[in-house]
Structure 1
Amino acid sequence: MKGLGKLIWRFVKLFLILFIGITVFWVILYRFVNPPVTWLMITRGFERKADGKEWKIDKQWRDFDDIADPMKRAAVAAEDQTFLENHGFDFHAIEKAIQKNSRSNKLIGGSTISQQTAKNVFLWPGRSYVRKAFEAYFTLLIEIFWSKRRIMEVYLNVIEMGDGIYGVNAAAQAYFHKEAFDLNRQQAAAIASIFPSPLKWSATNPTEYLQHRQYLIMKNIRRLGPMDF
């Protein structure tokens, strides 16, 4: 039994070393190389095919400086107002999410922009505690190896923005027929308002709830003041 235990422990150590080595390399690679595709994009593509639609992944990468400043500020105002100060986790939001989860069968995340970026780039779609654990791990890695500027750049380029639409440049073209660089504050707030549910909501045909959400985002943009990425 002793020999078997040692053998199992060796395999466990080898697995952990390989896992950490591969994931750290992957994260460092994406610090310099733009992610070509995500699991969500592929999954949505197959879902479209299953529904009898054409395969569609509409995305055009735009560098950080080629995205309008109001769009970056709107993302922070809508999703993670402590983005520049936190280290990948908003523990107050996590505490609120845990309280809600204890009263519901639905798993609510309370995710920061860093967590959402880690989830979108490195993980598969879905909600589970196992996935949240991997999300936390990759969030730590990108906070260590990427800058906040890079996290925001990747986030705004891979986020789902509609049926087969990914990234704010594709969203800007689909909703406002312009480039991400040319978005004004109101348009940026409209796009940011649909981040939580882009397959149900529209930036150009908002419900009353979305109009209120857009108003709050614009209000938060003014309150946040200058942001130094």
Structure 2
Amino acid sequence: MASRFSRAGFVGKLFIILTRLALAFALGVVALAFAYRYVTPTSTLMLAREIEGEPVQRLYVPLAQISPNLRAAVIASEDALFCRHHGVDWGALREVIDDADADGPSRGASTITMQTAKNLFLWPWRSAIRKAIEIPLALLIDFVWPKRRVLEIYLNIAEWGDGIFGAEAAAQRYFQKSADRLDLRQAALLASALPNPRLRDPARPSRQLSRRAATIIARTRSTDTACVN
């Protein structure tokens, strides 16, 4: 009997500890979300690379110093309804949820805001738990930040190759120019590389990458980017 009570007491204490940790994490994330509206952030992936001893290259620039071509190409490629939704594209999420495996919905269900939330606060590998946390974080970010800030941070923390983070570092690495001087094809090639940036080289694109870039260029003509111009 005593053993049963002691076991129940241990489970109760463990539950309280885990609840407090979860609450502390939530409060910390909320505080950071408000702070990151004004403060330059660092992504969890960048921190992981640095902890592992890998070189990290990033040159943070404001959105005004990133070519409108890249803004349009990334929105057309990653999240065509970025200017219309409030952090989560519920229609896209519903379309993939029935086909999702145990790891949760695919990248196709992730908005730019959701990817920003993941890159800033969560871990890179897919899981249903991560997706469940990612959604409310995206809603919070969209509520706290203007759309221009969301895209600015996303473009400054996205990985574009081994240790290459952000549009400015990527533009200099692949095209030897600053991010504000990217033409539409170069922007589309960078956007095409995002789903698998460590294996795709925008400077030496494969046929598949070039075709993907051409598709993105065509999509930019009908993509709403008014919220970030």
The TM-score with structure 1 as length reference comes to 0.85
Tell me which residue corresponds to 2:124: 125
Residues 208 and 174 from structure 1, CA distance in 2 versus in 1: closer, same or farther, beyond 3 angstroms?
A: same
Tell me which residue corresponds to 2:45: 40
Matches within 5 A, 1:48-127: 49=53, 55-102=54-101, 108-109=106-107, 110-127=109-126
Tell me which residue corresponds to 2:155: 156
Tell me which residue corresponds to 1:196: 195
In structure 1, distance between residues paired with 2:145 and 2:157: 16
Aligned residue pairs total 220
CA displacement at 1:123 relative to structure 2: 1.1
Stretches of structure 2 lacking an aligned partner (at least 5 in a row): none
Q: For 2:134, give the aligned amino acid.
A: E
In structure 1, distance between residues paired with 2:113 and 2:71: 14
SS state at 1:162 partner: coil
Residues 10 and 57 from structure 1, CA distance in 2 versus in 1: closer, same or farther, beyond 3 angstroms?
A: closer
Residues 45 and 16 from structure 1, CA distance in 2 versus in 1: closer, same or farther, beyond 3 angstroms?
A: closer
CA displacement at 1:100 relative to structure 2: 3.2
Q: CA RMSD in A?
A: 2.6
In structure 2, distance between residues paired with 1:12 and 1:116: 26
CA displacement at 1:228 relative to structure 2: 3.4
Q: Deviations over 1:36-89 (max 9, x none)?
A: x22212333455x5xxxxx31010000011111111111101100000001111
Tell me which residue corresponds to 2:219: 220
CA contact (8 A) 1:100 1:108 kept: no
Q: Does structure 1 residue 26 correspond to structure 2 residue 24?
A: no
In structure 2, distance between residues paired with 1:100 and 1:137: 22
CA contact (8 A) 2:56 2:165 kept: yes
Sequence identity, in percent? 35
CA displacement at 1:226 relative to structure 2: 5.7
Tell me which residue corresponds to 2:185: 186
In structure 2, distance between residues paired with 1:208 and 1:118: 32
Stretches of structure 1 lacking an aligned partner (at least 5 in a row): 50-54
Residues 10 and 58 from structure 1, CA distance in 2 versus in 1: closer, same or farther, beyond 3 angstroms?
A: closer
In structure 2, distance between residues paired with 1:42 and 1:21: 21
The TM-score with structure 2 as length reference comes to 0.85
CA displacement at 1:212 relative to structure 2: 1.2
SS state at 1:32 partner: coil
CA displacement at 1:97 relative to structure 2: 2.5
